[in-house]
Amino acid sequence: MEYKLKNNKKISFDHVYIMGIVNVTPDSFYPGSRIDKEKLIDTVARMIKDGAEIIDVGGESTRPGADEVQLDEELNRVVPAIEAIKKEFDVIVSVDTYKSKVAYESLKVGADIINDISAFRFDGNMVNVAKEFDCPVILMHMKGTPKNMQENPYYDDPVSEIYEFLEERINFAKRHGVEKIIVDPGIGFGKRLVDNLLILKNLETFKKLGYPLLIGASRKSMIGMILDLPVEERLEGTLAITAIGVMKGVDIIRVHDVKENYRAAKVAEAIKNALG
Ligand code: 8Y7
């Protein structure tokens, strides 16, 4: 499978892609990802050198309990950042937003992919923007909203419920003419530790949806719960998830620490693809 992008670019899902996280927010939960605009270009240059093929640019923190960012503020953060990245580098850019206006303005300055953590649920116009630009869209599972999702999450069977949710969102997208879909079970979005563990243990199940699969577990609290360590100390736990994710067929891995995850993914991928 491959998805065509603008300017003769494409994502060919014949190897694992590392997506580097660039937060242009003042309140992101992991302090290492706070970026001011002067550092933006250096940061992206480093990520590309370290193996990132996609840069995910976000302007609103979606950590549990985060306040919603006003539209204008999000536009002011994200659009100039994407414009600057696209001017400097020939790299694939995704825009992390659930607001159609932010997606629209970002696509106009060169963004390639919409990363919508609401899977077209929060903004009724988002699916139309995706259709108009014929761009790939990441459809992620979340129970509730960023503000309330961790209040009391419960699933009888997280893998089946998330699978069915993603199936429904895929059908919604297709009904509206959006075909370039990437699915994501949404690690940490309205899930308990046990739910996150079962999702990761059963990642291959989500491949049966028939679309490329993305995971984002980088430094998330599930790692902190297992190891009893703060966010600064969760790299090794992240790498364990990356290796297992690759082995189970994940196509895109969204991470803060590109170099380390790229190397872990490459080794896991070599094992996964070994013949003989
Ligand atoms: C994810 C994400 C975040 C994820 C996708 C964080 C924006 C929280 N997590 N997008 N965004 N998947 N597709 O810890 O897991 O990075 S924000």
DSSP the chain: -EEE-STT-EEETTSPEEEEEEE--S--SSGGGB--HHHHHHHHHHHHHTTEEEEEEESS--STTPPPPPHHHHHHHHHHHHHHHHHH---EEEEE-S-HHHHHHHHHTT--EEEETTTTSS-TTHHHHHHHHT--EEEE--SS-TTTTTSS---SSHHHHHHHHHHHHHHHHHHTT---EEEE--TTSS--HHHHHHHHHTHHHHHTTSS-BEE--TT-HHHHHHHT--GGG-HHHHHHHHHHHHHTT--EEEES-HHHHHHHHHHHHHHHT---
| Residue 22 to residue 34: CA distance in whole angstroms | 8
pLDDT at 112: 98
For residue 254, indicate whether it is catalytic: yes
Task: Take atom 1 of ligand 1 and give the residue whose Cα is closest.
Answer: 216
Task: Take atom 17 of ligand 1 and give the residue whose Cα is closest.
Answer: 62
| Residue 90 to residue 107: CA distance in whole angstroms | 15
pLDDT at 62: 66
The atom number, within ligand 1, closest to the CA of 29 reads 14
Residue 138 has phi, psi (to 5 degrees) of -90, 120
| Residue 264 to residue 272: CA distance in whole angstroms | 12
Give the Å distance between the CA of 61 and the centre of ligand 1: 9
Give the Å distance between the CA of 217 and the centre of ligand 1: 8
Task: Take atom 4 of ligand 1 and give the residue whose Cα is closest.
Answer: 216
Q: Do residues 18 and 258 touch, judged by C-beta distance below 8 A?
A: yes
Give the Å distance between the CA of 49 and the centre of ligand 1: 22
pLDDT tens digit at each of 276 positions of the chain: 999 999 899 999 999 999 999 999 765 555 555 456 678 999 999 999 999 999 999 998 666 666 677 898 899 899 999 999 999 999 999 999 999 999 999 999 999 999 999 999 999 999 999 999 999 999 999 998 888 888 888 999 999 999 999 999 999 999 999 999 999 999 999 999 999 999 999 999 999 999 999 999 999 999 999 999 999 999 999 999 999 999 999 999 999 999 999 999 999 999 999 998
Quickly count: other Cβ atoms within 10 Å of residue 181's Cβ: 21
pTM, 2 dp: 0.95
| Residue 41 to residue 10: CA distance in whole angstroms | 23
Give which of 103, 92, 82 is closest to 11, Cα–Cα.
92
Residues having CB closer than 6 A to ligand 1 are 58, 62-63, 96, 115, 117, 138, 140, 184, 186-187, 214, 216, 220, 254
Hey, which of 117, 219, 256 would you mutate to test ligand 1's pocket, going by the most ligand atoms within 8 Å of its Cβ?
Answer: 117
Give the Å distance between the CA of 274 and the centre of ligand 1: 31
Task: Take atom 9 of ligand 1 and give the residue whose Cα is closest.
Answer: 216
Q: Which residue among 180, 219, 248, 254 is the active-site one?
A: 254
Q: Which residue among 86, 220, 234, 248 is the active-site one?
A: 220
Give the Å distance between the CA of 7 and the centre of ligand 1: 27
The yes or no reply on domain 14-270 and CATH 1.10.760.10 is: no
Q: Do residues 247 and 271 touch, judged by C-beta distance below 8 A?
A: yes
> Domain boundaries in the chain?
14-270
| Residue 50 to residue 133: CA distance in whole angstroms | 29
Task: Take atom 14 of ligand 1 and give the residue whose Cα is closest.
Answer: 220
| Residue 114 to residue 129: CA distance in whole angstroms | 9
Q: Apex CA 33: angle with CA 60 and CA 99, to 5°?
A: 20
The atom number, within ligand 1, closest to the CA of 30 reads 14
For residue 101, indicate whether it is catalytic: no
Share of the chain above pLDDT 90, in %: 84
Task: Take atom 10 of ligand 1 and give the residue whose Cα is closest.
Answer: 117
pLDDT at 145: 84
